[in-house]
Amino acid sequence: MKLTLGITSCTPEWQLLLSQIGVPSSTVDLSAASDLSHLPSIIVSSKLTASEKLNALEYLSSGGTILTEADTAQILFSIKTRFQHVRYIEPQFDDIFQTVRSGFFDGKLKLPKDATHLMSDSGQSLIQTVRHGDGVALILPGGFISGVLDSSVRRRSFSTAGPIFPSERVSRRSKGVIRTVVEKSLQFLFGERQLPLVTLSPFPDGASTVFNFRIDTDFSSEDDVKRLYDLCRQHSITATWFVETASAARWIKLYAQMEDQEMGLHCFKHRVFASFSKNQKNVWRGLDLLTGERIHPEGFAAPFGLWSQSLSKAVEHHGFTYSSEFALDYDNLPFYPFLGERFSTVLQVPVHPISTSSLRNAHHSLEDIKAYFDFVIAAHTQYRLPLFFYDHPSNANLDALNWLFERIGDRSIQQMTLADYSRWWIERSATKWTPFLEDGKIRTERSRHPASLNVQIHRGVHEWAVTEMKDEIDLSDLSFRHEAAAATESPMSVRSAYTWKMMVNDMLHNYWKFRL
Ligand SMILES: [Zn+2]
């Protein structure tokens, strides 16, 4: 049996999510009288006509599974719905979504009234299951999936055992949480049919995470840069540097002399402008200084982690491979941002947005900072997220970074520059492949075969294994791991409060944003 997911309309939000998850899919036409029983599951993402509704219900009756949103479920099953503002998601006692991380949504959703899964701040669950004949459907709230296209920004607190929550201005919605809700839904629906869900691993060579140290050089002195570079060399860290070029113009050759480091562009002036032409010019002036030293960056990271369509088009105009802005996303897997009518050609690589200076600003001692990074390393490994940390040379806590680099070395966590990971991810995205289940074995057909590509095989929501992508994978040869319970984080009721400290940080942010 082909293990390809069906989808009625591959809208931009679904295209983005399915590519991140790495699940093969094909478009299905529900109006055709063809037999759909060969499809393990169908995402019904379009409005249904009367005949399409009949075919969808018949597919369900005969044991099929469907993932859809509340608007479509009103037509399919006549469910009752109601609009509600959902501030955050916090799964508890949930047999499908227990291992999904808590996160912010902060928007109006159309909720299925009889939902019993995925708890929100209102005490109301967000996801309903409907059984119909031999089949089952999961109903997500209306407006939930399009949350991944949102580009608004809020200051958010991050979970810590330290004295005050560290915070940063990041994407308003926890898009990584939306993705994992979809992943868990698909694992559940395939599992209901006793079928494995086979997806591409987000990491090469069977790694369970990868590490990168990103440095934004904002107004650092030459000595600060040298000190941080020396620390990186001491620990064999190949960091990714995003150079703020205007203040470093006199000594910019230092960056060309560094060994085994990746050079990217931060900016010329540390500003983000409203217009394409001003952004384009700022990028051009920064690039001009770097290329004068024979540095040809593949990556860009905007000042203040800001993202906008006009900036994104300016970065695209200069042919960058990737960019990295936590105002668009953080703690998630890469994706191509949607620009309203098309996808950008520049891959977005999310990082973890809390640095040692954010932690010191939140009164963390060295021991608190170590405990914080230990928690993030454990959580990201568990959620299969990259460990992409960032910092600044001018106010980095070198003692904490010395400890962090030792930790990464001790754990033998694979290092990659952001450029290496981006190039690998682009290869992953371009791989067309189809898995088949035949006599307890997974057979794969594929367009190309990057040697480092691995697949994840999920048995329901609780068990998974990772293995190299081969022509044939014998399921009985794999050692399946049990999905661990979600990491314990600070309660969302506390994390979602907007404190005086956050207000002060927002005021300072606005001051710096417009002053420089
Ligand atoms: Zn900066």
Predicted pLDDT at 484: 83
- Closest CA relative to residue 386, chosen from 186, 152, 187, 204: 204
DSSP result, 109-155: EEEETT--EEEBTTS-EEEEEEEETTEEEEEEPBTSGGGGG---EEE
Predicted pLDDT at 515: 67
CA distance 123 to 118: 10
Q: Report the 10 Å Cβ neighbour count for 275.
A: 11
CA distance 343 to 452: 26
Predicted pLDDT at 262: 98
290: Cα within 13 Å, side-chain hemisphere: 25
Could you tell me the distance, in angstroms and rounded to a whole number, from the CA of residue 164 to the centre of ligand 1?
Answer: 23
CATH classification number, 1-200+431-516, choose in 1.10.10, 3.30.70, 3.10.350, 3.40.50: 3.40.50
Could you tell me the distance, in angstroms and rounded to a whole number, from the CA of residue 137 to the centre of ligand 1?
Answer: 46
Which of 286-295, 432-441, 502-511 is the least confident region? Answer: 502-511
Q: Tell me, rounded to whole angstroms, the distance of Cα 14 from its chain centroid.
A: 14
Q: What phi, psi does 494 have (nearest 5°)?
A: -85, -45
Could you tell me the distance, in angstroms and rounded to a whole number, from the CA of residue 406 to the centre of ligand 1?
Answer: 26
Element (H or E) spanning 495, and its range? helix 492-495
Q: Is residue 115's pLDDT more than 60?
A: yes
CATH 3.40.630.30 for the 205-422 domain, yes or no = no
Could you tell me the distance, in angstroms and rounded to a whole number, from the CA of residue 225 to the centre of ligand 1?
Answer: 14
Could you tell me the distance, in angstroms and rounded to a whole number, from the CA of residue 216 to the centre of ligand 1?
Answer: 6
Q: Report the 10 Å Cβ neighbour count for 365.
A: 13
Could you tell me the distance, in angstroms and rounded to a whole number, from the CA of residue 396 to the centre of ligand 1?
Answer: 13
CA distance 251 to 435: 53
Could you tell me the distance, in angstroms and rounded to a whole number, from the CA of residue 513 to the centre of ligand 1?
Answer: 10
Which of 206-220, 230-244, 319-333, 449-463 is the least confident region? Answer: 449-463
In which order are the strands placed within the sheet that holds 65-69? 25-27, 5-7, 42-44, 65-69, 135-140, 125-132, 117-119
CATH 3.40.50 segments of the chain: 1-200+431-516
Could you tell me the distance, in angstroms and rounded to a whole number, from the CA of residue 373 to the centre of ligand 1?
Answer: 22
CA distance 497 to 504: 14
Partners of 153 in beta bridges: 171
Q: Is residue 213's pLDDT more than 80?
A: yes
DSSP result, 69-94: EHHHHHHHH---EEEEEEEEE---S-
With cut-offs at 50, 70 and 90, classify the pLDDT of residue 24.
Answer: very high
Could you tell me the distance, in angstroms and rounded to a whole number, from the CA of residue 310 to the centre of ligand 1?
Answer: 18
Q: What distance separates the 2 farthest-apart alpha carbons in the chain?
A: 73
- Angstrom CA distances, 320 to 119, 337, 340, stand at 40, 14, 20
Could you tell me the distance, in angstroms and rounded to a whole number, from the CA of residue 304 to the centre of ligand 1?
Answer: 5
Predicted pLDDT at 511: 86
Could you tell me the distance, in angstroms and rounded to a whole number, from the CA of residue 515 to the centre of ligand 1?
Answer: 13
Whole-angstrom Cα Rg for the chain: 23
- Closest CA relative to residue 389, chosen from 357, 361, 352: 352
Could you tell me the distance, in angstroms and rounded to a whole number, from the CA of residue 502 to the centre of ligand 1?
Answer: 19
Q: Report the 10 Å Cβ neighbour count for 233.
A: 15
Could you tell me the distance, in angstroms and rounded to a whole number, from the CA of residue 64 to the centre of ligand 1?
Answer: 50
Could you tell me the distance, in angstroms and rounded to a whole number, from the CA of residue 161 to the centre of ligand 1?
Answer: 27
Could you tell me the distance, in angstroms and rounded to a whole number, from the CA of residue 378 to the centre of ligand 1?
Answer: 27
CATH 3.20.20.370 segments of the chain: 205-422
CA distance 146 to 159: 26
Could you tell me the distance, in angstroms and rounded to a whole number, from the CA of residue 204 to the centre of ligand 1?
Answer: 30
Could you tell me the distance, in angstroms and rounded to a whole number, from the CA of residue 218 to the centre of ligand 1?
Answer: 5
pLDDT, averaged across the chain: 95
Could you tell me the distance, in angstroms and rounded to a whole number, from the CA of residue 398 to the centre of ligand 1?
Answer: 18
Helices (H) and strands (E) in the chain, counts: 14, 26
CA distance 373 to 355: 10
Could you tell me the distance, in angstroms and rounded to a whole number, from the CA of residue 495 to the centre of ligand 1?
Answer: 26
> In this structure, are residues 362 and 354 in contact, taking their beta carbons and an 8 Å threshold?
no
Q: What is the per-residue pLDDT across 286-313, written as a single tens digit (0 to 9) for each?
A: 999 999 999 999 999 999 999 999 999 9
Which residues contact residue 298 at a Cβ distance below 8 angstroms, ignoring those fewer than 6 apart? 262, 264, 320, 321, 322, 419, 422
Angle between helices 276-291 and 309-317 in degrees, nearest 10: 40
Could you tell me the distance, in angstroms and rounded to a whole number, from the CA of residue 168 to the centre of ligand 1?
Answer: 13
Q: Is residue 254's pLDDT more than 80?
A: yes
Could you tell me the distance, in angstroms and rounded to a whole number, from the CA of residue 233 to the centre of ligand 1?
Answer: 23
CA distance 337 to 308: 10
Could you tell me the distance, in angstroms and rounded to a whole number, from the CA of residue 89 to the centre of ligand 1?
Answer: 31
Q: What is the per-residue pLDDT across 379-418, written as a single tens digit (0 to 9) for each?
A: 999 999 999 999 999 988 999 999 999 999 999 999 999 9
Could you tell me the distance, in angstroms and rounded to a whole number, from the CA of residue 303 to the centre of ligand 1?
Answer: 4
Q: Report the 10 Å Cβ neighbour count for 129.
A: 17
Which of 27-36, 99-108, 161-170, 198-207 is the least confident region? Answer: 27-36
Could you tell me the distance, in angstroms and rounded to a whole number, from the CA of residue 253 to the centre of ligand 1?
Answer: 20
Could you tell me the distance, in angstroms and rounded to a whole number, from the CA of residue 271 to the centre of ligand 1?
Answer: 9
Could you tell me the distance, in angstroms and rounded to a whole number, from the CA of residue 209 to the centre of ligand 1?
Answer: 26
Could you tell me the distance, in angstroms and rounded to a whole number, from the CA of residue 200 to the centre of ligand 1?
Answer: 33
> In this structure, are residues 464 and 188 in contact, taking their beta carbons and an 8 Å threshold?
no
Could you tell me the distance, in angstroms and rounded to a whole number, from the CA of residue 395 to the centre of ligand 1?
Answer: 12
Q: 3-state class of 331 per DSSP? A: coil
